[in-house]
Amino acid sequence: MRKLISVSGWLSPTGEFYECLYTEHWDKAKEICHRQNIKILVKGFFNKDPEMTLEKNGWVKLSQGTVQYYLEDGKRISKKQLDFIFDYLTENGRNIARYEQILSCINSSSQFL
């Protein structure tokens, strides 16, 4: 297994990880949307937001040991994503309680963690 310590990037619903630098989530999200023909959603009047687009399409944002996701309209994190997140948190020194907090948040349909 590859090292996941302080790695940042995007995790697809199928469990594929797309690594990027900590400051490059926006650019990587835009690249992913372009390559996968995902229409970038508009936030506000004219501002296209590739990060929000991925999150609303079931992607998980990983950034230096933290996890961010968006649950809406019954969307859930996939089993493959949960497995990756467990490994990610473990390698970044988070205890199992953090993973359980994510599971609890998912079950209560909270939007962000």
pLDDT tens-place string over residues 6-25: 689 999 999 999 999 989 99
At residue 110, the pLDDT reads 45
| Closest-CA residue to 28 (of 59, 56, 68) | 59
- DSSP structure class, residue 68: E
At residue 45, the pLDDT reads 75
At residue 35, the pLDDT reads 98
Report phi then psi at 97, rounded to 5.
Answer: -60, -35
At residue 2, the pLDDT reads 61
Residue with tokens 């996968």: 36
At residue 113, the pLDDT reads 42
Identify the segments of the chain with pLDDT beneath 70. 1-2, 6, 108-113
At residue 51, the pLDDT reads 95
